[in-house]
Structure 1
C-alpha cells in the first residue's frame, strides 16, 4: 500500500487508528463536518499499512474503540443515571459495550490485511470499501443489530445524500468509502492514476449533487396541518405514578393549543401507564374531544394483553377511528432480556421500568390515522431502514416517536434525529418526530428539518404536511444494490489474489 519510506512506527500507527476513529464522530450530528469522515478513513488505511493480519485486527479494533468510544459512550448515562448503577459499574459496562462493538472493525482490519496481495490499488478501491460496508451491514442486524454511526448518515446534508433515495444509507456509505480510496489514489498514485482518481471523485460527488434535484415521489391531494408536542418530562420523574395526572395535564395543555391541527403526535410512552388502566378516565374522553374538534391524535402508550399478560410498547391513534401498532424491533436489555434463562438476574441490575416487552406481530409498520395510512416506528426502530420502508408505498407520511431522555444531554438525540432525517429522504415522505425531551421535529420528504422543539424545552411545533405517493428506488430494491456492489468489490479484489503473484505488503 505504501512504500517503506512512508511507514510509521507501530505505536504511532496504533494511536493513529484510534484517533482516526475518534475524528470520524465529527462527521455525524450535531457537527455534520462530513469531510472528517474521509480524513478518518484515510487515517485508518494508513494505520493498516504494512501490518500483519493479527496487527491489522488490533488496529481495526482500536479504530472502532475511537469511533464508538467518542460516538456512543452516552449509553453510560442510561445505566448510571436511570439504571441506578454505580458510576464505575456504568462506565465499565459502557466500555465493555464499546469494546465489543469495536470487534466488527477489528474484523475489517484483519480481512484487509489477510487479503492484501496483488496490485496496490486493490485495497483502497476494492477490498477496503467492500469489506467495511459488508461488516457495517452485518453490525446492523447481527444479534438484533446496532446500526448506529453508519457512514451514510454523515451525508444527509452533503452531496452524496442525493444517492440516498436510490441506494439508501448503506449505499451512500459505500460511496464514501470508495471516495476515500480515490483520495488515497489522488495522494499516492502516478500522474495518470491521479487523473483517473480525480475524475472518479468528480463523477461520484457531482452525480450526488445532480441527484439532489431529482424528485422520486409525488404529493397527493391536499396537505394537512400537523403538530408534534414535547412535554420534556425528566426521565427520573416519568414513571412516578404520583405524577401521572400532572403529566397528562401538560400533554393536554400542549394538545389543546393545537386542536386546530388535523393531527397531533405525542412521544413514545407519553402516557406512562397501561392502556386498560386509563381507557375510561383518559383515552375515551380524549378521543371524543378529538372527534369533536376534527383532530387525530397519535400517542405512545404501553398495552397489556388481558389473557396472556404480555405487554407491548405501542402507538395508539385516536379521533375519527382508533388503531394500534405494537413495536416490533425491541431494544435488548432495555425492552427485553436476551437469553433470559441465563441472564434473568440482570433484570434487577438494570432496573428499567416495564423492561419486559413482547414483540409486536404486525407484518408491516402501518397505522391508520383518520382516513390516511402512516408508516410508523417507535424509537430504535427508525435506525433500521429496511423495516421503515416496509410501510411503503401505502404510507402517505411517516411518524417516529421516541424517548431519548435515557441519554441525557449528549450526542444521542442529535444522532437519532439524523437517522430520522435519512429515513424521510430514503422513502420520499414527510416524517413527524415526537420525543419526550427532544429533539422533536417535522421533516420534509428531502430530509430537511422544517422546524423543531430543542432538547429539554417544553413546547410544540406545527406546520403544513404534504402526503406523498409513489416509491423511491430504495423502497423498491432495498439494501440489495448496496450490499451486492460491496460483495462484488470484495469478490473482484479476491480475484486479484488468485491472479496476481504473491508480493510483500509494500505493494
Structure 2
C-alpha cells in the first residue's frame, strides 16, 4: 500500500484536533484517520518493518501537522533560518514518531489472528506510544488523539480514564471498524456486543450526570460564584520584552486594570509583568499588594522571580485580604528549549534570538490559593497538558482544588490553531477532574470553562481587553458530597501506572500466545 495514504491519514489526525479554518475538534475524523492506519497495518499481514514504517510516516505527518506553528516562534520571532527551522520541526516530529514506529512494529510482529485480540493489542501499543511521548525526556504530549473528543460522545469517559484512556478506546474502535465483515451484519453476537457497548456508554453518561449534577446534599449550599476579571494584554510578542516598547506598555496597562478592577478575583497572565521585581520601579509591586490587602478582592499575577545567585522561576504571585506574605506558585513542568536547555543543545538555542533561560523547577502539588471559600490551583502554560501532575493535588479530596487557573502566553505562535488546541487541552482537564478551568492569556484563548468542559465566556483573541464572568467552584465542602472523579482518585495515587500496566499486560499475554503458536500451537479462531 502506498505511503502517501499514511501521510494523508496523519494529516487528517492533526486536523481532527482543531480544524484549520474554525479550530473545532472532530472526534469522528480522529477515529476515521486512525482507522486508515489500522487498515494499513492489518490488511495483507505486513512485516514488522513495514508496520514500523507506516507508524513512522503516519505519526511524522500527524505531528508536523499538529505543531507546525513552532515555525513562527523559531523563525519569525527567533530569527532561525527558514531551512533550519523546517529541519528542526521535522526532526522533532520524526523523533517522537519513533515511538509509534516501535509500537506498530511490535503489533505486526505479533501478528494476532483473533480480531478482538488484534483490536486490544493495537489499542495497547498505541497507548504505550502515547504515554512514552508524554513522559520520556520530560514529555511533549501536545496533540494526543484523545483531545479530539472534548465534544464527542466518548467525552464522558474522560472522568474515568483520562485523555490517554480515551486514546486507547479510540484505537481499539478504529481496529474493530476495519475488521468488520459483511457476515457481522447478520450475526446476532456482533449486534449484542455493539449494543452492549452503547449501553455501557449510556450508563457512564448517566453516572456522570448523577455525580456532577444530582448527587449532593441539598441542605449545604455552595459559596456564591466567583466574579472574575481576566486580563488579556495582547502585548506584541516581538515587543513584549523590549524596554522601549512592550515593557512600559505592559507595566502601565496591567497596573491600570489591576487598580480599577471591581471583580472578586483579578487574574493577569503568564509574565504579565515582564520584569523581575528588583527591576521594577520602587513601589510597583508593593502598590498592587496594598491595593488588595483590604476589602474583598484578590489578585493572581504572572511574573518571573529570582536572581542570578538563587536562580529564576516562572511564577504566579497572589494577594488577598488577610495574607501576611504573598501567595506564590512556581512552575513545575518546564518547557524544553524555552525554560531549560537540554544537555548538548546549547549550540542550537544560541542560534535564536529568543529570551531563553534555565529556570528552577517548582514543587509538584503546590498548595492552592485560598480565597472566598475556594481552593484555586494555578498552572502555567503547557502544564495543563500533564493531567497526571495536576491530579496529584486530589490525593486528599478535602483539600483538592475547586478551580483551576491557567496562566499562558502562546503569543510566540501567532494567531494560529495553537490557540484552539490549547483551549481544547484545558477543556479536557475540566472533563477529567470536573473542575472549572479559567484561562488568562496574553493573546488568547482567554476563557472560562465550566466543570463540564463547556466554554461559557471567551474574549476575542489577539485583542486587548478584560473578560468579565463568573465561575462556580466544585468540591468546595466535604459535606456537599461532591465526589472527585474516578480518574482523579486513581491518578492522584498511582499516576499513569494503571494504564501502563493494562497495556503492558495485553502486550505480554499476546506475546506469550504468539510464542505458543510458534511452537506448534493452534491459531485462535479469527471470529469474535
TM over 0.5: yes
Give the deviation of 1:416 after TM superposition: 0.8
- Partner of 1:423 in structure 2? 429
Q: Distance in 2 between matches of 1:149 and 1:188?
A: 34
SS of the residue corresponding to residue 238 of structure 2 reads helix
The 1:215/1:461 distance shift into structure 2, 3 A limit, reads farther
Q: Could you tell me how far 1:380 is from its partner in structure 2? A: 1.3
C-alpha contact (below 8 Å) 1:160/1:209 kept by paired residues: no
Contact 1:272–1:302 (CA<8 Å) still a contact in 2? yes
Distance, in Å, in 2 between the alignment partners of 1:398 and 1:296 is 15
Kept in 2, the 8 Å contact 1:140–1:146? The answer is yes
How far apart are the structure 1 equivalents of 2:436 and 2:281? 30
The equivalent position to 1:175 in structure 2, one of 134, 146, 169, is 169
Across the two proteins, how many residue pairs are aligned to each other? Answer: 489
The equivalent residue for 1:400 is: 406
Match of 2:252 among 249, 252, 255: 249
Partner of residue 76, structure 1: 71
Q: Is 1:210 matched with 2:206? A: yes
Contact 2:439 2:446 in 1 (8 A): yes
Cα distance between partner residues in 1 of 2:417 and 2:335? 19
Q: SS at the partner of 2:230?
A: strand
**After the TM superposition, which residues 281-430 of structure 1 pair with which residues of structure 2 at under 5 Å, given as runs?**
281-305=283-307, 308-320=309-321, 321=323, 322-339=326-343, 342-360=344-362, 362-370=363-371, 372-392=374-394, 393=397, 394=399, 395-430=401-436
Structure 1 unaligned segments of length 5 or more: list them: 1-9
- In 2, Cα distance between equivalents of 1:349 and 1:110: 36
Any idea what the Cα deviations from partners look like across 1:393-423, whole Å, max 9, x if unmatched? Answer: 3222111101111111221111111111111
Equivalences for residues 15-34 of structure 1 within 5 A: 15-29=4-18, 30-34=23-27
Determine the structure 1 residue equivalent to 2:440. 434
Q: In structure 2, how many angstroms separate the alpha carbons of the residues matched to 1:323 and 1:115? A: 54
Counterpart pick for 1:55 among 50, 53, 57: 50
Residue 89 of structure 2 corresponds to residue 94 of structure 1: yes
Q: Which residue of the partner structure matches residue 493 of structure 1?
A: 510
Which TM-score applies when normalising by structure 2? 0.87
CA apart distance, 1:370: 3.8
* Aligned partners of 2:131 and 2:164 also within 8 Å: yes
1:453 aligns with 2:466: no
Query: 1:186–1:194: 8 Å Cα contact kept in structure 2?
Result: no
**1:444, distance to aligned residue in structure 2 (A):** 0.8
Pair 354,184 (structure 1): closer, same or farther in 2 beyond 3 Å: closer
Gaps of 5+ in 2: 476-482
> Could you say what secondary structure the match of 1:334 adopts?
coil
Residue 214 of structure 1, CA deviation: 3.5
Give CA-to-partner distance per residue, 1:54-81, whole Å, 9 cap, x none: 1111111011022112111111111001
For 1:187 and 1:433, the matched residues in 2 are separated by: 47
Pick one of 239, 244, 250 that aligns with 1:237.
Answer: 239
Contact 1:139/1:146, CA 8 A, preserved across alignment: yes
The residue number in structure 2 matching 1:42 is 35
Distance 2:506 2:316 in 1: 42
Distance in structure 1 (CA, Å) of the matches to 2:162 and 2:506: 18
Contact 2:338 2:356 in 1 (8 A): no
| 2:17–2:147 Cα contact (<8 Å) kept | yes
Structure 1 partner of 2:105: 110
Task: State the Cα deviation string for residues 366-410 of structure 1 (Å, max 9, x = none).
Answer: 332446432221101111001112223322211110111111122
The one of 138, 159, 162 aligned to 1:165: 159
* Structure 2 Cα separation of the partners of residues 212 and 223 of structure 1: 22
- 1:220 is displaced (CA, Å) by 3.7
Name which of structure 1's ranges 286-295 and 54-63 shifts more when overlaid on structure 2: 286-295
Which whole-Å CA distance do the structure 1 matches of 2:59 and 2:96 have between them? 7
